[in-house]
Structure 1
Amino acid sequence: MRTEPKAGRWDWLFARLDREPERPTHIDVPRMTRHRAALFGATLAFYLAIVWLVVTTSWLVRLDWQVMFFRPYQQWSQIHWFVDYYVVLGQRGPTAVMVAAWLGWRSWRQHTLRPLLTLGASLLLLNVTVGAAKLGMGRLGPHYATVIGSNEMGLGGDIFPSGHTANAVVTWGILAYLASTPRARRWLSALSAVTALGVGMSTVYLGTHWLSDVLLGWAAGLLILLALPWFEPLIARAEAWILDLRDRRRAGRAAPAAAPAPAAPVTAPVLLKRRPTAVQDGATAARETAASARHPRAPAHLAPGPHTTRSERTPITPSGTRRPPHTERLPRGTATPAARPLTNGG
């Protein structure tokens, strides 16, 4: 018996991925070149410099306090409503959904899972690195500052670096990283840079972050984008593993189901032979007693059996004659009566 495989929930997506070619030939996977490695080193140095300037309560911390006392949200209150909406472009939830929808369509068109897997890897790196830095430095924000002129470090806060800024750099920058042509990569790089810059300055305008928080957030997001080529082999192995797992599940569903072996016929003599002797004798005696208690009745069809010879059969002698009685016929040995005279002259 053969069963047809049922269509699973993701079979329509994997069927699309099975189409050739697996990946367009004109799209190159970025590699860690010397230029990119130099940018990564410079950005890392800038990151460490910002941290050092804040920890030592340098001129950067005094600049943070000056911007905070300036209160931009009061100086330009007429744009407050716009900034409230614009800063959403740096929130992780809404931006991740929008970018994932676009990259999902790209995966559909390019027949590969690489765009979605790259987005997942970048967001994972963002959560690990930025989250660890926030918890490790524990800086308080402008609204919760305790001592004027202090760096507010190690007081249990979680705003250094700015998560909105780093998320805007990574989420919108991943579109430029995955661009299929150099021209699209340049335009998307400029657009993502402007968007991330606007999100960072919006947090400063609203007073939720220090200026140094935004600077460190830009550096943290850029470090993740520059480090992504090192994770490309891992992304390729993850894609191959997912497709291989799909193939194994599909092969398991398409395998013919093994038909159950028919049970061997069990007859009454086999069961009687397997019974103990005492149980068999008791059952036989009970059947014979029940048969003798019933009124004997000839079966409708007799099975052929042994016959006795004619000489062994009991002769049956009929009593009397077999001829029907006749009033005018006399028994043998009697005289014949005289003929009856005819009347009327006959």
Structure 2
Amino acid sequence: MRTERLLTRMERVFERLDREPERPAHIDVPVMSRHRVVLFLATLAFYAAIVWAVVITSWLVRLDWQVMFFRPYQQWPEIHAFLDYYVVLGQRGPTAVMVSAWLGWRSWRQHTLRPLLALGVSLLLLNITVGAAKIGMGRLGPHYATSIGSNEMWLGGDIFPSGHTANAVVTWGILAYLASTPAARRWLSALSAVTSLGVGLTTVYLGTHWLSDVVLGWAAGLLILLALPWFEPLIARAEARILSLRDTWLARPGTATAPAAAPIGASALRTPTHESAGGQDPSIAARSARPPLHRASGPHTTRSERIPVTPAGSRRPPHSDRMPRGTTSARPVPGG
């Protein structure tokens, strides 16, 4: 009885990838719906409230100082080594490389530049908005605080809002934004929320950020993800422009592909219908017009009668005493 071989897990993955269409017929592009607009405005109001609470040195600033004096890194030193590596998930360079590698493979697989362009737009918005807020408010971090109980604003710092937290929200949240199915979007949204929450709390544990920095960083990253649908027409135009430039470059004379060569023996497969006006096949006429080949004069010797010639460039010395093949030579008779 013949049984089929069971596929391994890796073979099933590649088999599924081979069945994936090259370019989805209908790409689910998020639109700026009323629900999203309401969330964007609510997040923006929350952002402004956090900034105002820090500026007026409210209870939020007192909570920042209480957490700083608690020194979580001294309370739980056993997890310090692990969190030193975990906080890398919020650094812009490593996370951008990891996510762009995945989105680049997806762009190549689906023949669309939208994933990479969406990532580029989100990171550009992140650098502009968060960077401007950091420089504009100039808050000092816990390690550089000058006065106990103060908000440490406009003193030349650059930690408010938290860049690690905002970057984690945007970089991992873009995967949920570009998800193909609603189920994948829900799972990736939950995963990115947990990851960014952990990165933010890790910076508080290490003492590099105030708690209010982390809260504002969450709001800043969420604002960028909620505002991305406004930039979808720009992303579509940029993709069309890039593909048009690519087609123009490939159409240049220097990059044009060479015409396929005619198959060998095509002239031999011609039928008598392709005859010239004179009633003769052009290939036959061309062969008949060639000059005849003449052999060298003189008798033709057999291979056994030819004298061996040392080829040019050979290291073997010439043997003048070598006899041609086919001839007999006198050999001494054993014994006398």
What amino acid sits opposite 1:236 in the alignment? Answer: A
Q: CA deviation at 1:253?
A: 3.2
Cα distance between partner residues in 1 of 2:255 and 2:50: 61
What amino acid sits opposite 1:196 in the alignment? Answer: S
Which residue does the alignment assign to 1:47? 47
Identity %: 85
What amino acid sits opposite 1:222 in the alignment? Answer: L
Which residue does the alignment assign to 1:72? 72
Which residue does the alignment assign to 1:112? 112
Q: How big is each residue's C-alpha offset from its partner over 1:225-246, in whole Å with a ceiling of 9 and x where there is no partner?
A: 0000000000000000101111
Map 1:294-313 onto structure 2 (within 5 A): none
Map 1:319-334 onto structure 2 (within 5 A): none
Are the aligned partners of 1:61 and 1:149 in contact in 2 as well (CA < 8 Å)?
yes
Unaligned runs of 5+ in 2: 1-20, 257-336
Q: CA deviation at 1:254?
A: 5.0
Cα distance between partner residues in 1 of 2:67 and 2:25: 50
Structure 1 residue 181 and structure 2 residue 181: aligned? Answer: yes
TM (normalized to structure 2)?
0.69
Cα distance between partner residues in 2 of 1:154 and 1:253: 59
Which residue does the alignment assign to 2:137? 137
Which residue does the alignment assign to 1:8? none
Are the aligned partners of 1:26 and 1:180 in contact in 2 as well (CA < 8 Å)?
no
What amino acid sits opposite 1:69 in the alignment? Answer: F
Map 1:83-98 onto structure 2 (within 5 A): 83-98=83-98
Runs of 4+ in 1 over 6 A off after TM superposition: none
Q: How big is each residue's C-alpha offset from its partner over 1:124-182, in whole Å with a ceiling of 9 and x where there is no partner?
A: 00000000000000000000000000000000000000000000000000000000000
Are the aligned partners of 2:169 and 2:193 in contact in 1 as well (CA < 8 Å)?
yes
What amino acid sits opposite 1:161 in the alignment? Answer: P
Which residue does the alignment assign to 1:338? none
SS at 1:28 equivalent: coil
Unaligned runs of 5+ in 1: 1-20, 257-346
Cα distance between partner residues in 1 of 2:62 and 2:210: 11
- The 3 A distance-change label for structure 1 pair 93 and 255 is closer
Cα distance between partner residues in 1 of 2:136 and 2:80: 32
Map 1:277-296 onto structure 2 (within 5 A): none
Cα distance between partner residues in 2 of 1:110 and 1:187: 22
Q: How big is each residue's C-alpha offset from its partner over 1:252-310, in whole Å with a ceiling of 9 and x where there is no partner?
A: 23588xxxxxxxxxxxxxxxxxxxxxxxxxxxxxxxxxxxxxxxxxxxxxxxxxxxxxx
Q: CA deviation at 1:251?
A: 1.6
Q: CA deviation at 1:62?
A: 0.3
Q: How big is each residue's C-alpha offset from its partner over 1:73-105, in whole Å with a ceiling of 9 and x where there is no partner?
A: 000011000110000000000000000000011
TM (normalized to structure 1)?
0.67
> Is the deviation greater in 242-251 or in 161-170?
242-251
User: Greater relative contact order (Cα 8 A, min sep 6): structure 1 or 2?
Assistant: 1
Map 1:187-266 onto structure 2 (within 5 A): 187-253=187-253
SS at 2:251 equivalent: helix
Are the aligned partners of 2:23 and 2:109 in contact in 1 as well (CA < 8 Å)?
no
Cα distance between partner residues in 1 of 2:48 and 2:22: 41
Which residue does the alignment assign to 1:161? 161
SS at 1:140 equivalent: coil
The aligned length equals 237
